[in-house]
Amino acid sequence: MNRLVTLGLASMGLALAAVPFAQVNPPWRAEALAEDAAATTIPILTSLAELGINAGASQSTIPAGLSQSDNASEGGRVIIGPDNRQPMISSSYPWSAVGQIVGFMPNGSDYTCTGTLVADSIVLTNVHCVVNPRTKQYSQRIEFHPNLVNGLTRNNDVAEVTGVLLGTDFAEWNPNEPSPDDWALVSLDKPLGQTYGTIGLSPLPSEVLINDFAESLIMVGYSGDFPADNPGQTASAHKGCSVVAEDLSLVLHLCDTTGGASGGPILALVDGDYQIVALHASGASRRDTGEGIVNFAVKIPRIVRQLQAAP
């Protein structure tokens, strides 16, 4: 991690027991994996000081004048059972703090993921939305589009990524398993959190999520198949989903997602505030039917411990 490299992206391969799974949730088009050495470089940061944040700085904030609403709809598939997603067209908090990650490859292709403002100019997403774990290839440029609805942001508020703090560099990554450290914090060139708000990290234990927050979580992401008339241009929100188990040092959840939702937050109301309680990373479906089986999310306590240990 202690080096200067170029920014990029990745896919996740999954394998569970003997169940035939298909690889799902790739955040970019296949042609984006083409080798291309002509990439610009953006710093991979090695400390919280470089990122401009401390371990306790992430908290939920609602800027003055920004309303709050529980209704997200005011104003490869991993769908488990019925599709329970609704369009996130609200510009109120907390939906305002979630946005789309757009990465650009040197060959002109692009990809999308999801990210959340956790500080004024800091966004939480997946490492595999930044670096390809299979090829170690990086993208040339990455943008963050806050509260993207119908492909548009308010006042053309688009920020450029200026640096990244990685949870892993995938040096010892097993391609048959999702990584428990598939998280990244990216710094922006604009303090968008002052306008759109920020959502804090809540390191609730897995057993608390499973037992106390069943059917009360919210998964938000820019899925590539949703909405049907303009895919990937408006986020979806699945309200009332659950974390159901813990495995492979991750949590397993049943929130509906598809490709593009990688890096999306799983939210809960904790002591009256919206908090990020898990970070969606990948999912698996049956290879023969395409039926969604399970989704994987990074544990927030693991992220917090790594941040607290960072210089």
Supply the pLDDT for residue 226.
58
**Where residue 32 sits, what CATH number does that domain have?**
2.40.10.120
Supply the pLDDT for residue 14.
29
Residues of the chain with pLDDT under 70: 1-42, 55-58, 73-85, 175-176, 224-228, 230-232, 248, 257-259, 284-293
Domain that holds residue 204: 4-54+76-309
Q: Are 306 and 181 in contact (CB under 8 A)?
A: yes
Other beta carbons within 10 angstroms of residue 124's beta carbon come to 26
> Considering the domain boundaries, does residue 82 fall inside one?
yes
Nearest to 163 by CA among 3, 45, 48: 45
Q: How far lies 307's CA from each of 67, 92, 174, in Å? A: 30, 29, 23
Query: Would you state the structure tokens that stand for residue 238, as one six-digit string?
Result: 């699945």
Other beta carbons within 10 angstroms of residue 81's beta carbon come to 9
> Considering the domain boundaries, does residue 67 fall inside one?
no
Supply the pLDDT for residue 133.
72
Q: Are 311 and 46 in contact (CB under 8 A)?
A: yes
Q: Render pLDDT for 262-301 as a digit per residue (tens, 0 to 9).
A: 899 999 999 999 999 999 988 765 555 455 567 899 999 9
- How far is it, in rounded angstroms, from Cα 188 to Cα 113? 16
pTM of the model: 0.80
Supply the pLDDT for residue 17.
27
Supply the pLDDT for residue 218.
94
Q: Render pLDDT for 179-204 as a digit per residue (tens, 0 to 9).
A: 899 999 999 999 999 999 999 999 99
> Considering the domain boundaries, does residue 60 fall inside one?
no
- How far is it, in rounded angstroms, from Cα 144 to Cα 131? 16
Other beta carbons within 10 angstroms of residue 30's beta carbon come to 9
Q: What is the CA radius of gyration of the chain?
A: 17
> Considering the domain boundaries, does residue 62 fall inside one?
no
For 285, phi then psi, to 5°, come to -135, 165
> Considering the domain boundaries, does residue 70 fall inside one?
no
Q: Are 266 and 219 in contact (CB under 8 A)?
A: yes
Query: Based on the structure, what is the number of domains in the chain?
Result: 1
Supply the pLDDT for residue 287.
52
Supply the pLDDT for residue 94.
94
> Considering the domain boundaries, does residue 87 fall inside one?
yes
Supply the pLDDT for residue 98.
96
Please state the three-class secondary structure of the chain as a single string.
CCCEECCCCCCCCCCECCECEEECCCCECHHHHCCCCCCCCEEECCCHHHHCCCCCCCCCECCCCCCECCCCCCCCCECCCCCCCEECCCCCECHHHEEEEEEECCCCCEEEEEEEEEECCEEEECHHHCECCCCCCECCEEEEEECCECCECHHHCCEEEEEEEECCCCCCCCCCCCCCCCCEEEEECCCCHHHHCECEECCCCHHHHHHHCCCCEEEEECCCCCCCCCCCCCCEEEEEECEEEEECCEEEECCCECCCCCCCEEEEEECCEEEEEEEEEEEEEECCCCCEEEEEEEEHHHHHHHHHHCC
> Considering the domain boundaries, does residue 269 fall inside one?
yes
> Considering the domain boundaries, does residue 126 fall inside one?
yes
